[in-house]
Amino acid sequence: MSPTQRPADAWSRWGWLFGGIWLVFFIFPLIHIWTTPYTPAHRLVATALVAAFMVAYVLTVRRAVRRVGGGQYASAARGGLLGLGAMVAVAIVLATMIGPNALTAMPFIVGVPVFFLPWRGVWTISLGLLGLGMLTSALIWGVWPTIMFWGISALVLTISVLSRYLEEQQESALETESQLALTEERERVARDVHDVLGHSLTVVTVKTELARRLVDADPERAKQEMGEVQDIARQALAEIRATVGGLRVARLADEVEAADVALRGAGIDARLPDDVLLVDPRHRITLAWVLREAVTNVVRHSHADTCVVELGDHWLRVSDDGRGVDGTREGNGIRGLRERVEQAGGSLTLGPGPDGAGTTVEVKL
């Protein structure tokens, strides 16, 4: 059990009722008390002891469940052991008054440590109390009058242990799922931020270099390029905010237009599709991300003169006539892109261009 605090849930508040339901079995020792020719005082004292045991059990379980549910494991163990001691003391006194009928308390005594002790303590104390109870009762009252209580006690302990084990396994599975979901979300944000910033900063770099070269020769054109840089920076900021908030969705038509701007700014002849509606709507978002990253890599790394983008119903191909990828390690962008495509049930192929020169990125969904 982890020592970290956890908010109390419904089980932490009301789970003790599940254990309290079984107190109905004390009807049998109460029937014995009031149908056996004991003195009135004897009956009242024995009944009070039965009530005291039931109260001690309910309070012990209730406090233990709440404290364990709140992550207060040491406090739960200390309080639980005090309650268990009180239950054992009451049961011993009751046994001197009503004989083997007091063994109705035995299943509650051996089962209650499961609520608040770590597993080692459960095995030590619960099994120790079960063995001690069996030995003592056999020596005092014999085997046959008490064997039924032994079997019930062993069954209750087994069910309690199994219930706690299954509950802890479920909690562990839920925690694992939560961690996996958190990891996937972090990876999604990392991929999206990489794709957004990678593309935007690449275009900004190309355009600022162009503006620097034009500032003396063509000031108006340089001013226009810097204005576009400002627009791209603002758009990138908005996209980053939307990405972090999980709200950004890439649109294929927008990415085709952005590819045209980026490639033209880098002096690369862009041959782009005129119609994106032929792409299956289910695949447009994924292919939009692929197009963005592929064009960014063309602008940044390829030194190409021409870039061709082709679209189909469930596929995308981006080819350039640049220097190719032979001997080049796969970068974070392509690796993140491959993960994104595989999550969508597709495949990504990276290789040389149609004539053996340049690079081709092909995605099929």
- Domain of 256, CATH number, reads 3.30.565.10
Across the chain, mean pLDDT equals 83
Last-in-domain residue among 117, 145, 173: 145
- Say what the pLDDT of residue 50 is: 95
- Segment 210-249, tens digit of pLDDT: 778 877 778 888 788 788 777 777 777 666 666 655 545 5
- Say what the pLDDT of residue 327 is: 62
Helix and strand totals (H; E) in the chain: 13, 5
CB of 104 within 8 A of CB of 26? yes
Last-in-domain residue among 130, 145, 160: 145
- Ranked by mean pLDDT, the top range of 157-171, 196-210, 220-234 is 157-171
Positions of E strands within the chain: 269-271, 306-311, 315-320, 347-351, 359-364
Q: Specify the amino acid at residue 155.
A: L
What are the CA-CA distances from residue 319 to residues 92, 158, 295 (Å)? 87, 66, 9
- Say what the pLDDT of residue 6 is: 45
Could you give the CA distance from residue 29 to residue 24 in angstroms, rounded to a whole number? 11
- Say what the pLDDT of residue 247 is: 46
Asked, for residue 231, whether it belongs to a domain, the answer is: no
Last-in-domain residue among 127, 145, 163: 145
- Say what the pLDDT of residue 292 is: 85
- Segment 91-102, tens digit of pLDDT: 999 999 999 999
Kind of pairing between the strands at 347-351 and 315-320 = unpaired
- Ranked by mean pLDDT, the top range of 66-75, 85-94, 206-215 is 85-94
- Say what the pLDDT of residue 147 is: 93
Confidence of residue 3 (pLDDT cuts 50, 70, 90): very low
Higher local confidence (pLDDT), 114 or 225: 114
Cβ neighbours of 97 (radius 10 Å): 17
Which residues constitute the domain of residue 295?
Answer: 250-365
pTM of the model: 0.56
Q: Check pLDDT > 80 for residue 258.
A: yes
Confidence of residue 143 (pLDDT cuts 50, 70, 90): very high
Instruction: Give the DSSP per-residue string, 231-282.
Output: HHHHHHHHHHHHHHTT-----HHHHHHHHHHHHHHTT-EEE--S--TTS-GG
Encoding tokens for residue 27?
């009807």
Overall number of domains in the chain? 2
Asked, for residue 21, whether it belongs to a domain, the answer is: yes
- Ranked by mean pLDDT, the top range of 136-145, 206-215, 260-269 is 136-145
Asked, for residue 127, whether it belongs to a domain, the answer is: yes
- Say what the pLDDT of residue 19 is: 63
Q: Check pLDDT > 60 for residue 12.
A: no
